[in-house]
Amino acid sequence: MASSKTEITLDITPHSRLDVINVTEQICQQFGDILSQFPKAFYHSYHTTAGYFEQRFCARLNHSRDSLQAFVQSFQKLFPPNANYHHDKLHLRKELSEEQRREEPLNADSHLTFIGSGLRSCVTYHNCPKTPVYFIDLDGVCGGTKRRRQTTVIGFTQEKLVDKTVVAIPLSRHPVDSVNLKDTRLGLFDQLQEFLDRYEIVNGRIDISLAPNECHAGLTVNEYETLLMKHDLAEVLRNPVRFMAEKGRHMLRDPKAIPRKAKDYAKYDLVQVVNEVLDALGLSESLLERIINKFQAVPAARFLGVKRSLSLMVSQQGGEERGSIVQGIHQSPILVQWKKAEAQTRQLKVAFVRFQ
Q: Tens digit of pLDDT for each residue in 81-109?
A: 999 999 999 999 989 999 999 889 999 99
* Paired sense of beta strands 204-210 and 332-337, if any: unpaired
Q: What is the pLDDT of residue 298?
A: 44
Share of the chain above pLDDT 90, in %: 69
**CA distance linking residue 19 with residue 146, whole number of Å:** 11
Q: What is the pLDDT of residue 167?
A: 98
Q: What is the pLDDT of residue 306?
A: 85
**Quick check: 290 pLDDT over 60?**
no
pLDDT tens figures, 229-284: 999 999 888 887 778 767 654 444 444 444 444 444 444 455 555 566 556 656 55
**CA distance linking residue 93 with residue 82, whole number of Å:** 16
In 3-state terms, what secondary structure has residue 93? coil
In 3-state terms, what secondary structure has residue 4? coil
Of 2.40.70.10, 2.60.120.460, 3.60.21.10, 3.20.20.140, the CATH number of 5-355 is: 2.60.120.460
**CA distance linking residue 220 with residue 232, whole number of Å:** 15
Q: What is the pLDDT of residue 278?
A: 57
pLDDT tens figures, 171-201: 999 999 999 999 999 999 999 999 999 999 9
**Quick check: 203 pLDDT over 90?**
yes
SS3 readout for 314-344? EECCCCCCCCEEECCCCCEEEEEECCCCHHH
Long-range pairs, 10-13, Cβ under 8 A, ≥24: 10/150, 10/151, 10/152, 10/153, 11/148, 11/149, 11/150, 12/135, 12/137, 12/148, 12/149, 12/150, 12/151, 13/146, 13/148, 13/149
CB atoms inside a 10 Å sphere around CB 307 = 17
Report, as an integer, the average pLDDT of 345-354.
Answer: 98
Report, as an integer, the average pLDDT of 96-123.
Answer: 94
**Quick check: 10 pLDDT over 80?**
yes
Per domain, the residue ranges of the chain are 5-355
Question: Are residues 179 and 348 in contact, defined by beta-carbon separation less than 8 angstroms?
Answer: no
The pTM (predicted TM-score) of the whole model is: 0.87
Based on DSSP, count helices (H) and strands (E) in the chain, helices before strands: 13, 17
